[in-house]
Amino acid sequence: MKDFFISLILSSCLVGVVGAQGRAVIGISDTYRDGVNSAVPRTYVEAVMGAGGIPVIIPLIDDDGMLAEMLKSLDGVIFTGGEDFDPAYYGERPIPQMGKVNVPRDAFDLRLLRIAAAEGLPVLGICRGIQLINIAYGGSLYQDLSAQYLNRSVQHRRKLSKIAPTHDVVVVAGSVFSSIVGLQTIEVNSAHHQAVKDVAEGFSVVGRSTDGVIEAIEKVDSATWILGVQFHPEALYSQDEHMRNIFQYFVDKASHSKSKPMSASPRRKIELHRLQPPAIFNPELLKLKKVSLTFKAIQPPKKKKK
């Protein structure tokens, strides 16, 4: 594990040299799981490398200027899976079925997405990543499918390994996502209990599970390339060519962005929604100190003993 982190540090040091040779440098958002280490699951790293990209962890930092400078060296950004998102960002209070949230990461991911969008970088959001994208652009989530979604024909939070496909996703014909996977129906893994509810303005739903739950959204135009998927293609990368296609297409798209240097055009103003810290939390919790993962504010209430 130590060698793995050293290799990522070396990769980031070589970004300017190797990136100039044409390989896309892909930033992967920090999971900040324990509040001490910057890390991402190995599967994300291997998927990016397998597609010909150079993976670099984007560490959780509280300096937008430094973050913007960092992103100027990148060609694309992947937002990783993780905890539930604070529902206050989309105007709701937590229900009892909500899980843990990562307060510093919520704030950081929203800032990172804002800067990445302003720089025109291709973005791929996975699991929590699709939810982040939808919230940032003004959409909302089902806080818990079992409590808020009536159709129970598909089990979305399976206890099986992520390397096992568990249900089908119907792909919308004519979408960019359809051209990537090349099928009308794909098999995906499933490890989530939240999902996109109200779709953000400007985004198209391009994949649904057979029970109607949104599994993929996209916003693709001359200035924006954003794809979000609810499943985990990185976990199926080694065994499913259609999952590999997602990373291959993304890395290829990112590498083509090199032909448009960031310095050649001014940063665009991107209107994202609800980027202010939620009012129900103490603002002090959002200061990115060494350890600041405080979940007590939205823990589900304990069931009373009968």
Of the candidates 23, 56, 53, the one whose C-alpha atom is nearest the C-alpha of residue 38 is 56
Report the C-alpha gap between 102 and 99 in whole angstroms. 10
Distance, in Å, from the CA atom of 134 to the CA atom of 171, rounded to the nearest integer, reads 19
Contact between 214 and 227 under an 8 Å Cβ cutoff? The reply is: no
User: 124, 144, 136, 176: which is closest to 275 by C-alpha?
Assistant: 136
| Spatial distance between the Cα atoms of 102 and 31, rounded to a whole number of angstroms | 9
Show the tokens assigned to 36: 């001490």
List, by residue number, the catalytic residues: 127, 232, 234
The answer to whether 111 and 89 have CB atoms below 8 angstroms apart is no
Helix (H, G, I), strand (E, B) or coil at 83: coil
If one counts every other C-beta atom within 10 angstroms of the C-beta of residue 17, the result is: 8
| Structure tokens that stand for 291 in this block | 């350890």
Cβ atoms of 237 and 50 closer than 8 Å: yes
Nearest Cα neighbor of 200 from 228, 168, 231, 230 is: 228
Give the C-alpha separation, 257 to 95, whole Å.
42
Alpha carbon distance 166, 157 (integer Å): 10
